[in-house]
Amino acid sequence: MSRLNGRIALITGASRGIGAAVAKRFAAEGAHVILTARTVGGLEETDDAIFQATGKNATLVPLDLRQFDKIDQLGYSIFERFGKLDILVGNAGALEALGPVAHYDPKLWERVMDVNVTANYRLIRSFDRLLRASDAGRAIFVTSGAANAPYPYWSPYGASKAALEMMVKTYAMEIASSNLRVNLIDPGVVATKLRMQAFPGEDQTKLTQPDAVAERFVELAEPSCTRNGEVVAAQ
């Protein structure tokens, strides 16, 4: 397993769920992974699993993506240490709560938009040059079927993912003549904390587990990947 050997990969929301699964898979494929999340304990658990499997540690960066200036600081730190970034995975997402549009809490709306849209814009803004410095930069963002199919009470989440898709597809067009490739992944129904928030009574043991969707991330992260500006289904 060396499809990402020597690649430098940054993964947001890597303390659990899909982010943690992708981090472990990337590390198993030979990448050095830089992991961000708000939960230090979760990051350490992911790092422990990576070390146990590979004998190497990840770089852990406790970070609230809503503190946008710290994203810029992280970009500068990666530039100083590595001089480039090969893979960016914008995985972190927020649901907050479900509710009717007319009564949705403005503060929760802002949090969803901050994490799902603005933070990813700031990641692009901060890491574009580092990704272009790679011989085969790859950026992958996590979307949802809610971006294209409206559901009652899901307006902030659906609107945020629709905005994310438009932004990422536009970015993909802008970098098409470079070595950088930019895509989105729709993981489908996966057993995650966000899914549990939306469907609290659901038996998550019967759902697709995060490890099962990690392969699609590897495919889009490989230097040989030629796809650009696509929404790729993980299942």
Catalytic residues: 157
Spell out the long-range contacts of 152-159 with Cβ–Cβ below 8 A and sequence spacing 24 or more. 152/100, 153/98, 153/99, 153/100, 154/98, 155/100, 155/101, 155/104, 156/96, 156/104, 156/108, 156/109, 156/112, 156/113, 157/95, 157/112, 157/116, 159/113
- Give 201's DSSP letter: T
What angle, 0 to 180 degrees and rounded to 10, lies between the N-to-C axes of helices 155-174 and 119-132? 20
